[in-house]
Amino acid sequence: MARFRLTLEYDGTDFAGFQLQPDARSVQGELERAIAEITREQRRVVPAGRTDAGVHARGQVAHFDSDTRLSPGELQRALNAVLPRDVAVLALAEAPPEFDARRDALAKRYVYRILNRPEPSPLRARTHLHLRAALDLAAMREGARALVGKHDFSAFRGAPGGVLEDENPERSIDRLELAAGGDELALEACGRSFLRYMVRNIAGTLIEVGQGKRAAGEVAEILASRDRARAGPTAPAHGLCLEEVRYSPS
């Protein structure tokens, strides 16, 4: 029995999320179906993190076990040959038997992308949130600075009823930066783990700052309140992408 580590890219538009679901299409379901077709084995795929419906990935990491005699390169090519067009295995290698894609992850890097111009972009409609009016980037950066570090992020977690009440809301954001280039704005969030919808709730709040609907100084007040009702709306899923999962060098 060997353990394999995969790096995955997928367009989340037509998926109900990464996690296997009985009555909906999922990334995990497509991967496990492909593995079964190639290896004739029913294997569980374990991801570094579960992306929600509509969220994309350029660098999702996962692992699974197999008795296949195929080399990693042969297995990667075979999986890509049978996987649908919206998911691909970018890298596949044999990993130590104790490797765990979820538990061993040291950090995740997400980017929320905004197309900020009057005209829509058909080519970026699935991967960027389109906002017509110009955003105040300086104000958004000022608001973002209040969220860096270790905090109770209850104000930016999923809505009541959608999260486990006993889940620890403390998280650490190592980096939260906004970059502008051309007609695009990107919010990059890096940390070991995030609450469900946390990055999208932060994005929705900072967008309101950029639109002048709230002052940059309010972000610190919202964080301190631990009240989800005080933060902005959850930004649409299609703007978010899991870019990278980091591990200790082997």
pLDDT digits (tens, 9 = 90+) for 57-106: 999 999 999 999 999 999 999 999 999 999 999 999 999 999 999 999 99
Task: Give the end of a domain, one of 69, 95, 121.
Answer: 95
Q: Give the phi and the psi of residue 230 in degrees, each rounded to 5.
A: -85, -20
Q: Which token pair is 185?
A: 């704005």
Q: Which token pair is 201?
A: 């709730």
The distance of Cα 228 from the centroid of its chain, to the nearest Å, equals 20
Domain count, the chain: 2
- Report how far residue 41's alpha carbon sits from residue 104's, in angstroms, rounded to the nearest whole number: 25
- Report how far residue 55's alpha carbon sits from residue 163's, in angstroms, rounded to the nearest whole number: 18
pLDDT surpasses 90 at 144: yes
Q: What is the 3-state secondary structure (H, E, C) of 218-250?
A: HHHHHHHHCCHHHCCCCCCHHHEEEEEEECCCC
Q: Which helix (H) or strand (E) holds 177?
A: strand 170-181
- The full DSSP string for 109-132 is EEEEEEEESSS--GGGTTTSEEE-
What's the average model confidence in pLDDT over 4-19? 98
Question: Which comes out higher in pLDDT, residue 141 or 164?
Answer: 141
Q: Are residues 184 and 209 in the same domain?
A: yes
Q: Are residues 208 and 114 in the same domain?
A: yes
Q: What share of the chain is helix, strand, coil (3-state, %, to 5)?
A: 30, 30, 40
Which residues does the annotation mark as catalytic?
52
Q: Are residues 237 and 116 in the same domain?
A: yes
The helix/strand count (H/E) of the chain reads as 5, 10
Q: Are residues 123 and 52 in the same domain?
A: no
- Give the model's pLDDT for residue 249: 86
Phi-psi region of 130 (alpha: psi -120 to 50; beta: other; left: phi over 0): beta
pLDDT surpasses 60 at 169: yes
- Give the model's pLDDT for residue 34: 98
**Is 101 within a domain?**
no
- Report how far residue 6's alpha carbon sits from residue 19's, in angstroms, rounded to the nearest whole number: 16
Least confident span in 135-149, 154-168, 169-183, 223-237? 154-168
- Give the model's pLDDT for residue 167: 80
CA distances from 242 to 6, 175, 205 (A): 15, 15, 20
What's the average model confidence in pLDDT over 167-185? 96
Q: Are residues 181 and 201 in the same domain?
A: yes
Q: Are residues 82 and 168 in the same domain?
A: no
Q: Whole-number mean pLDDT of the chain?
A: 96
Categorize the per-residue pLDDT at 159 as very low, low, confident or very high, splitting at 50, 70 and 90. low
Q: Are residues 79 and 116 in the same domain?
A: no
**Is 75 within a domain?**
yes
- List the CATH number of the domain containing 43: 3.30.70.580
Q: Which helix (H) or strand (E) holds 72?
A: helix 72-82
Question: Beta strand pairing status for 46-47 and 184-191?
Answer: unpaired
Do residues 94 and 14 lie in contact, with contact meaning Cβ atoms separated by under 8 Å? no
**Is 100 within a domain?**
no
Categorize the per-residue pLDDT at 158 as very low, low, confident or very high, splitting at 50, 70 and 90. confident
- Give the model's pLDDT for residue 161: 47
Q: Are residues 168 and 81 in the same domain?
A: no
What's the average model confidence in pLDDT over 177-196? 97
Q: Are residues 116 and 89 in the same domain?
A: no
Structural domain containing residue 48: 2-95
